[in-house]
Structures are given as C-alpha cells and as structure tokens.
Structure 1
Amino acid sequence: MSHVTDQPDTGRKLTGHHVLAIFVIGFGLIFAVNFFMAYRAVSTFPGMEVSSSYADSQSFDLRRDAQEALGWQASVITPGDGTLVLHLLDRDGALVAPAELTALLTRPTNQREDQTLVLRRENGAFVAPVALSDGQWRLRLTGVARDGTEYRHNITFRYAK
C-alpha cells in the first residue's frame, strides 16, 4: 500500500535531535525563569520580623491584652502633598500623647524605600514628610504609653497619585 500526500516534500524532517533540542530549550527556559524569580524573591525580601519567634510568642497574649486596654485607634491619610497624616486617638477621640513613638514606613516586600518618619503634632494629628511612590505601603508604629505599656501597630495602605 502506498502513501500519497497532497503536500510537497520540503526536505525538512523532524528528527530525534530536533525533538531533543525543543525539550532542552523549553525546559531550560522554564528553569531559568524559575531561578530568576527565586533569586529576586530572596534578594528583595528582608525576611526577619523578630529575632526569635518562640521567645516573642511567650509574652504575646500579655502584650496584646495590655495594648488593647489602651484603646488606641490608629489610621493613616496620604493627602498627596508629600505628607503622611497619622491619627492616633484614644477611646474618647482625643489625640494620644505617648511617652515614645517611632514610625517606620516600609514596603511589604523590600527595604529599598524604607523611611524613618519624623512625626510632629499638627491640628490633632501627627504629620510627617514622606516620599511615596504608587503601590502598597506599611506604617510600623512602635512606642510606649505614659503608663509604660508597649505599643506596636502596623497599618498597611495603598498609595496612588
């Protein structure tokens, strides 16, 4: 039985070497992209939140209960004029005057744009100059209340010009 085709013979045939080359190039590309993405993930993420998760967890409930007893509510506004406005209020809506308060503005996935903010009181809020680009941000507040209670709070927000 003879085989008849309507297509002309171009002289090109798919050989085992061609198939091997296609597989090597295809999987090589997949591996290269995966290694690149893994490198970028590891090289840009700071990784450590606390030095010892176990030690930090031993007093977590006590610290959380003490902090919740303060009744502080924190919120952030970014009006787009190069400032960040932090409202830190007590249960009665009055501005909180902590003994200490530091604010670190970070990106959730890298440290390149981290900014330690210099907070000043202005019109019932804390205000700080900032340099924000579009995207996700995290404001890390740490401080101490006048009664000695530790205060930690993270506020994640999105900024768009």
Structure 2
Amino acid sequence: MAIKDSTDLIKHLAHTQSQDDIDYLLRERVIYCHLPADAAAADATNYILLEADENIELVSAKITCAAAVALDASDYATLDLNIEDGAAGGLTSIDSFTTAATTLAARVAKSWSGIAATDTLDAGEILVLEVTKTGSGVVITDCMVEVKFRYL
C-alpha cells in the first residue's frame, strides 16, 4: 500500500499493525536554505546548509535561482557540495557543477546528481555549499537550496 497522506498512514497502521514502514517514512526530512545574491568577483564563500544532530544519509540536493545564471566558459562559478567534520577540519566534496558547463535557468531546480547512498553525515558534521569564482566570476542570484535527508 502506497502511503500518500496522513489518512493512508492511519489506514496502513490499522491494516498491518506494523510501524516499520511508518517509522521509515517519518525519518525523511527536507530543509530549505535561502542564499542571498553574491558579488561576481567574490572570493570563495561557504554557506552552512545544515549540521547533523544525528547520523543522516543524504537523499538529494538541488538549487533554484530567482534569476538565470548564464553559461560562460571563462567567467563562472563552481558550486561544490561538501561535508565538514564539524571541528573546523577540511571539506570533503560530495558533488559539484560549474556555470561554465551548466546554465541555471530562473526558477528551475538544478540537482547535484552525484549524491549516493554512501554520502552520510555523522552527528556533528556539517553540510556546506562552497561557491568559488573563476575569471571575473558571475553573480549567483538569490536562490533556494533544498536538501532532502534521512535519519539512519
């Protein structure tokens, strides 16, 4: 039985007397982070997206910009999704893309497609979006980052 809403959730429990599916379903969360527009030639900027309060598995992440960010092979930004150990340690890259190879269309979500089931954060680790510029850079407009994760 596919669980689509709270009514289905109640029906499922009544029919199966099993909380396993329900517990699994309730472990998944989505957070949204607003990032303000930056300057074209800004240095590397790190945005903290979340700090894991328990061990979690990343499910997906995507960015949606308010205005388009044009493709440019010489003046571009790299958007790198990273894990930091929470003790001011280095960043470990999960996935990245550049505006040298990818146009960010206005109000159209762009996913980081390299997230795998092995991309986990231990309690205390931090998910960071690092934006770096090459050449004269490019303005990354106001945007929203959506991160979906599951408690382990």
Tell me, yes or no, whether TM beats 0.5: no
Q: TM-score, normalised by structure 2?
A: 0.33
Query: Which protein has greater RCO, CA pairs closer than 8 Å, 6+ apart?
Result: 2
Tell me which protein shows more strand as a share of its residues.
2
Larger radius of gyration: 1
Name the structure where helix makes up a greater proportion of residues: 1
